């Protein structure tokens, strides 16, 4: 038994790194050997051509793993690049090369999925800066007056629900009519809910028909399309809230 071959391999054949904006986004890649050595043993690690991930999608603390003398395993850290990660995921396939006198066993390849993850927070900021436009009216985003929207959290049980002091700004109607006498009037108060799946619903009253949108948990930006019945001709207003 003392003369048996030494076998090496990754300690797992697959893994997943969920890359978040604030996380460490790392995975400890370990290599184990079947018996101790009286000297350090190093193994080169290379990216397989079958990878859908690219070299700039991750960094590795070393290009080889060293199992120190008298030990049975060693490791290197792999850190995913959050900016390059995608929600669909990319797969990093790594191959382990044999070392002198040590053979690679059945787990000589590992597939690591790198997936971008942006959890919805427990609360939203108290205010957002906002821009508005209207595709229906041919008005580019930002061509209408910028404004600030203030959020007040409600006691609703579902999702993140807030009362908005104004969904489209205090000068929207005056800008659309060209009459400054409407400044501060018809400001579109509403209630906004960010749902668990990142969709957003807006509920208004009276002339304010509400709307729908998307919350980008990675950037915190909320994009909405608001309906209205204030004007006789139907059209929607597009707004973007930026924290």
Tell me the β-bridge partners of 39: none
Residue 122 lies in a domain: no
Instruction: State the pLDDT at residue 242.
Output: 98
In the block, tokens 């579109």 appear at 188
Per the CB < 8 A criterion, the answer to whether 129 and 148 are in contact is: yes
Instruction: State the pLDDT at residue 174.
Output: 93
Same domain for 91 and 50: yes
Residue 121 lies in a domain: no
Residue 178 lies in a domain: yes
Same domain for 80 and 180: no
Instruction: State the pLDDT at residue 4.
Output: 64
Same domain for 108 and 62: yes
Same domain for 17 and 111: yes
Dist. CA 204–CA 211, nearest whole Å: 8
Same domain for 235 and 197: yes
Residue 229 lies in a domain: yes
Q: Supply φ then ψ for residue 118, to 5 degrees.
A: -130, 90
Taking Cα atoms as reference points, which of 83, 11, 78 lies closest to residue 51?
78
Domain span at 38: 6-116
Same domain for 206 and 109: no
Give the domain-ending residue among 116, 151, 169. Answer: 116
Domain containing 71 — which CATH number? 2.60.40.1740
Give the domain-ending residue among 70, 87, 116. Answer: 116
Q: Reduced to 3 states, what is the DSSP secondary structure of residue 166?
A: coil
Instruction: State the pLDDT at residue 22.
Output: 83
Q: What is the pTM of this model?
A: 0.72
Give the domain-ending residue among 85, 116, 147. Answer: 116
Same domain for 173 and 92: no
Q: How far is CA 49 from CA 1, 8, 13, in A?
A: 38, 22, 17
Same domain for 68 and 135: no
In the block, tokens 């959050």 appear at 82
Same domain for 133 and 69: no
Instruction: State the pLDDT at residue 116.
Output: 93
Please give the tally of structural domains in the chain.
Answer: 2
Same domain for 98 and 16: yes
> What does the pLDDT profile of the chain (243 residues) look like in tens digits?
345 689 999 999 999 999 998 888 999 999 999 999 999 999 999 999 999 999 999 999 999 999 999 999 999 999 999 999 999 999 999 999 999 889 999 999 999 999 999 989 999 999 999 999 999 999 999 899 999 999 999 976 667 999 999 999 999 999 999 999 999 999 999 999 999 889 999 999 889 999 999 999 989 999 999 999 999 988 999 999 999
Domain containing 144 — which CATH number? 2.40.128
Same domain for 156 and 111: no
Same domain for 40 and 93: yes
């Amino acid at each position: 038994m003392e003369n048996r071959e030494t076998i090496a391999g990754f300690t797992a054949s697959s893994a997943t790194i969920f890359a978040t904006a604030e996380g460490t986004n790392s995975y400890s890649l370990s290599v184990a050997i079947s018996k101790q050595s009286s000297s350090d043993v190093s193994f080169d690690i290379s990216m397989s051509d079958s990878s859908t991930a690219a070299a700039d999608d991750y960094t590795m603390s070393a290009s080889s793993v060293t199992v120190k003398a008298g030990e049975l395993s060693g490791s290197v850290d792999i850190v995913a690049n959050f900016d390059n990660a995608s929600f669909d995921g990319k797969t990093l396939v790594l191959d382990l090369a044999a070392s002198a006198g040590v053979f690679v066993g059945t787990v000589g390849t590992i597939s690591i999925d790198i997936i971008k993850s942006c959890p919805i927070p427990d609360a939203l900021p108290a205010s957002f800066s906002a821009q508005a436009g209207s595709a229906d009216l041919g008005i580019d985003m930002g061509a209408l007056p910028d404004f600030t929207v203030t959020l007040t959290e409600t006691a609703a049980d579902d999702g993140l629900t807030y009362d908005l002091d104004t969904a489209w700004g205090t000068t929207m109607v005056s800008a659309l009519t060209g009459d400054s006498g409407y400044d501060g009037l018809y400001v579109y108060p509403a209630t906004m809910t960010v749902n668990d799946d990142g969709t957003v619903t807006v509920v208004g009253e009276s002339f304010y028909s509400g709307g729908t949108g998307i919350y980008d948990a990675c950037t915190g930006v909320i994009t909405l399309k608001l309906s209205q019945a204030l004007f006789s001709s139907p059209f929607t207003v597009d707004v973007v809230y930026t924290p």
